[in-house]
Amino acid sequence: MRIDRLHLLAYGNFRDKVLDFGKDPGFHLIYGLNEAGKSTALRALSSVLFGYPHKVEDGYLYGSHDIRLGADLIAKDGRKLAFTRTRQRKKPLLLEDESPLAEGILTAFLGGLSRETFEKVFSLNHERLRKHAQALMSEGGALGLGLAEAGSGISNLRKKLDDLSKERKEYFLPTGSKPVINQKISKLSEIKKEIRARTVSPFEYKKHLKRIQILEEALGEARKTRDEIEREIRQNERILRTLPKRSEHEALSSKLLNLAEVEILPPEAASERIRAESGLTSATKALDQVKELIAEIEGQIDAIEVDSRIIDHEEEISHLEKRSGAIAKSLEDLPRRERERDLLLSQASTLLQGAGLPDIPDKLKETLPPLARQRHISSLIERRATLDGKIDTARENEKTAERELDRAREELRATTETPDFSELEQILSEADRLGDISSEIEKGRRSVFQAQNILAEKIRSLGVSSGEVSVLREMVLPSDSTVSRMHEEHLKIQNEAKEIQSTLRKLEKEEATTRKKIQQLGRTGEAATLEDLEGVRKRREEGWGLIRGRYIEGRNDLEEACRTFAENTPLADRFEELEREADRLSDVLRTHAKESAELELLRKQVELGETLLEQETRSLAICEKKQKGFSESWTALWPNGLVTVGPDNRPDRLPDAMQEWLKKREEILLEAERIEQQKEETALLLNKERESAERLSAVLSVLDPGFSSSPSASLDTLRQKSRLILEKLRGLRSLREKAEEAVRTETLRKKQATEHVKELSGEIAEWKDQFLKVLREAGLPPSEDHISTKSVLETLGELNTLRERIKEKSDQIEKMRSDHEEFSRDIARYSKFLDKVPESPPDTSALLGQALQKSRENRIQRSALEKRLETENKNRIRFENAIRENESLLATLCQQAKCQDVSDLPILEARSKEKQEAMSALDELERHVLSDGSGLSIEELFAECQDASDDRIRSRLEDLRIKKEENDKRLEQAISELSTEKNALEALLAERQAADMVQEAEFLKSRLVEEIGDYVALTLQEAVLRRSIEVYRDRNQGPILLKAGELFSALTERAYRGVKADIDDKGEPILLAEHTERGSLEISSLSDGTLDALYLALRLAAIDKHNESFEPVPFDLLCRLSYIALGNHEENRKGNHVARKARS
């Protein structure tokens, strides 16, 4: 089984997270920082497969009913299962379509794997890895234990075995005396000896033992006789069965003696002979046919001719054939190309004359100015057009800037100066920072009033009727340490009382249960105690004394005592009743010793319980006194009336309540201080409001002549008035600043426009000088008219184009003539291979192509025949080899059969088969005889049959069976007599045993049976565990050690070659690590890191072995990468290196 995906839908700190492990199996490394969720994902895997634990884990973000996990599983046979698991009791498993999934289907898909097996075997974290590795070292590298621990995931198997052995030895040792069972057996033997000594006389006891000994000897003699008779019967029956087989054995031996000279041939000799003869015949026939075919092919090859001269120049002739078409076409196009070139020259002549240049059309390159100079003239013309446009625009911008400057100056003269109002802005800003101070002041006053009322109610709830803080503050109260000490003292008294009451309830319950058991035993009448027996006997003796005194001695003063004793019944009847009761109790003690012992034990438990009840009752009274003293001391600590004592001697306010009272008192005092602080803050806000209003009134009277200050004006009114005045002043100042800025901007713009016009005029003057100079250098007429010069340049452009076209046509004509001359030379070189050569080179090329095609066809035909000839030669060699192999095989068969002629082989093969069958029959016969021979050899068995006849053996068997029946009767009689004698002795002993000794012996037996059961269970557990470990080692040692060795070598970077098994000094199998340089090392000499690597290799190998036989299960390893580097020599490795090792 593989996990395709794990869906963390709502689990831990994950939501809709998917871990995709891919469709193909492989190694997957999940890494992250601390608290990233690696352990959470591992717990999620266990929960989704086997169900959530009872206690909610990883429910950081979700409630228990919201937790959801999902998984996509792929079985070994390709089956898939996708499901979701919730914490709902109904339908915890859901398929993708939300339909319910039965738990049994998932369990079957997992191959019956349980949560315990998965977490122990297939889930390994860092702590368990360390624990198992240390256990491997502490067990000395025991091979069986190491393999079993790696395969089961259970650590410290050695300790578990030692604990079982130690616990078992505490119960019993064959030669010990201190273990529990040994002690009880010794005590039981002593009791039995004492019982016998008390009841049966030595003479009588020895008489019975002597009789039993005689009967046991007679029984042993009869059994010995029976064994001898049965042994002789078995021997005669064996001889009777062996007699016919002996005759058959002699016949087979005689037959083999006659075939002694015959060689035993292999079973396949006949089939090989037939195959060799058939192969030889077919190979000879095929060889003759192949030789005839080879001669025929060689004749066909000689008849085919190939012109080697043409074939040697195959590539050149093919190339000429391909060029011939292009050459013929170029010869046709040459006159047309020459006419096109003459037309282009005529056009160039016309343009030269129109431009005033020399009329030399075929020398345009020397006549025309260079292209670079033409492009330079063209760029100068374009620049002049650009300069003309720029200077026109600059002059228009200069006029516009002058008009805008005049308008800005007019607007500036229309504005007025504004006074400085920065002081008003500062004061208003400070007033605005106060916010809605009036409402805050009113709110503070109301808050203080309400808080004072609430505080007074809280003070009254503490028991201070006046509700004043001063009264509460001036109270004289105990210190916190005193209250804590009294609290601890009260808790101690309470706990003591609770414990006593709990003990009393438990004792009363146990007493009731015990009395109920006593009543049940009393009703059955099958139990009694020695005390009951002694009581009845005492009453009986008392009755006997009354009878003797009243009727024998004739005493009259005993009449009242007799009436009291008899209880309104005749005295003699009462005495007989007690006599019968004493006998009954004695019989009960003897026959129901176990129940009687239980009854006595129960009564002792009742007596002990009554004593304990009395002690606990006294302890409870003492505890009540302590409670009363505590209440008086506790009340005296507090002001009068604050703590009172009720009728049950308990204060109405206990220490924990008064601790809460003191805490509330401190909170009330802190609240009172906070209210005082709030009142001060309200007064401070009132002063700030008044100062801010006075400052605003003073500034407003200066800035606004029409403003009149009023003492009743509120701060909000003054702030509103100030904002209106500021808005007006800011508007005036903004208009003035904008006008000044416009004048400055337009002045600067006018200046820049004038300077730009001057710059452009200078550039135009520079351009004229440069333009005239360039025209003179180009050989063109100098003129400042750039428009006419532009027309000349256009003509020059057309002439440049014609010059390129004329050059292109001339090059084409020259190339066509050159190609034709080269083609004619090449054709003349190969035309000597033709018998008749045409005048036209293209026609000659066509004839050469036809000759080449014919030579190619002849070469292909000859090559095919040569390949066919090569194939037939190989067949000839193959058939010749087959003939030699078959002849050699027949010769070998003749050599094995020791004959000269192959025709003799069938006869020898038949005799060899006959000999083999006789030998097999003889072996089978001897095997049957030996299987019934009771360990005797074949010679000894046949020797028994010497001089034996069938009739004599049968007669002897009949006599032996009669003797056996007679001996069996004597044996049965001896067994019966011995059993009767033993029963008589046991009955004699049982009749005369003392009741108290029998009771004690029965009690010991019952205890001994229980302890022997525990001993047997421990012994069985230890034996099963040891045997399981050895069976696991025997079955898995080879494949697991081989795989573990490879993994161990990879995990240690080849520092170790692997692992192997060996035997220690005690003869126990152990595990050794094979170091590349230091050789074989015991487990105790390995470092911690190497030990971890060794255990991990064993665990992975065991899991690999499991997955070969069962449904594969993923292996989860959760550990620190820096630690799993495994060993001191690996501490500096990186995470990807670890991943590679783990994958291997």
pLDDT at position 1109: 60
pLDDT at position 204: 64
pLDDT at position 84: 92
Strand residue runs (E) in 288-410: none
Give the contacts of 539 (CB within 8 A, at least 6 positions apart): 578
- Per the model's pLDDT, the better-predicted residue between 1144 and 620 turns out to be 620
Average pLDDT, the chain: 77
Q: How confident is the model at residue 70 (pLDDT cuts 50, 70, 90)?
A: very high
Q: How confident is the model at residue 1002 (pLDDT cuts 50, 70, 90)?
A: low
Longest dimension (CA), the chain: 198
pLDDT at position 71: 92
Q: How confident is the model at residue 1129 (pLDDT cuts 50, 70, 90)?
A: very low
pLDDT at position 1124: 35
pLDDT at position 187: 78
pLDDT at 1003 over 90: no
pLDDT, tens digit, 9 for 90 and up, residues 128-152 = 666 665 655 555 555 455 555 555 5
Give the CA angle between residues 169, 174, 179 to the nearest 5°: 45
- Per the model's pLDDT, the better-predicted residue between 930 and 1129 turns out to be 930
Contacts 24+ apart (CB under 8 A), 884-892: 885/279, 886/276, 886/277, 886/279, 886/280, 886/283, 887/280, 889/272, 889/276, 890/273, 890/276, 890/277, 890/280
DSSP for 142-197, written as a single string: BHHHHHHHHHH----HHHHHHHHHHHHHHH--TT-SSSHHHHHHHHHHHHHHHHHH
pLDDT at 156 over 50: yes
pLDDT at 1132 over 60: no
Taking residues 323-352, report their average pLDDT.
Answer: 78
* 102 CB-side CA count, 13 A: 4
Taking residues 89-104, report their average pLDDT.
Answer: 84
Of 249-263, 511-525, 673-687, 1124-1138, the poorest mean pLDDT is in: 1124-1138
Q: How far is CA 1073 from the centre of its chain?
A: 28
- Residue 11 pairs in a beta bridge with 14
Taking residues 763-771, report their average pLDDT.
Answer: 80
pLDDT at 1137 over 70: no
pLDDT, tens digit, 9 for 90 and up, residues 100-119 = 888 888 887 787 777 777 66
Q: How far is CA 273 from CA 146, 711, 1051, in A?
A: 59, 146, 59
pLDDT at position 501: 85
Cα–Cα distance, 446 to 488 (Å, whole number): 45
Q: How confident is the model at residue 630 (pLDDT cuts 50, 70, 90)?
A: confident
pLDDT, tens digit, 9 for 90 and up, residues 546-577 = 777 776 677 778 778 887 877 777 777 777 78
Taking residues 718-723, report their average pLDDT.
Answer: 78
Taking residues 288-300, report their average pLDDT.
Answer: 85
pLDDT at position 1000: 67
Whether 377 contacts 774, CB under 8 Å: yes
Whether 68 contacts 9, CB under 8 Å: yes
pLDDT at position 135: 58
Cα–Cα distance, 227 to 597 (Å, whole number): 49
Could you give the percent of the chain with pLDDT greater than 90? 0
Taking residues 424-451, report their average pLDDT.
Answer: 78
Task: Read off the amino acid at residue 155.
Answer: S
pLDDT at position 892: 84
pLDDT, tens digit, 9 for 90 and up, residues 587-602 = 776 676 667 667 777 7
Of 234-238, 525-529, 659-663, the poorest mean pLDDT is in: 525-529
Cα–Cα distance, 1094 to 1073 (Å, whole number): 8
Give the CA angle between residues 480, 486, 487 to the nearest 5°: 85
- Structure letter (DSSP) for residue 1116: E
Q: Is the pTM of this model over 0.85?
A: no
pLDDT at 643 over 70: yes
- Per the model's pLDDT, the better-predicted residue between 142 and 453 turns out to be 453
pLDDT at position 1136: 41
Highest mean pLDDT among 190-204, 392-406, 1013-1027: 392-406
- The pair of three-digit structure tokens given for residue 1049, joined into one six-digit string: 């070598």
Could you give the percent of the chain with pLDDT greater than 70? 84
pLDDT, tens digit, 9 for 90 and up, residues 805-826 = 888 878 888 888 787 877 777 7
- Per the model's pLDDT, the better-predicted residue between 870 and 929 turns out to be 870
pLDDT, tens digit, 9 for 90 and up, residues 365-415 = 666 777 777 778 778 778 878 888 888 888 888 888 888 888 888 887 777
pLDDT at position 435: 73
Q: How confident is the model at residue 663 (pLDDT cuts 50, 70, 90)?
A: confident
Helix and strand numbers (H, E) in the chain are: 32, 10
pLDDT at position 1142: 41
Pairing, β 123-125 against β 1116-1118: parallel
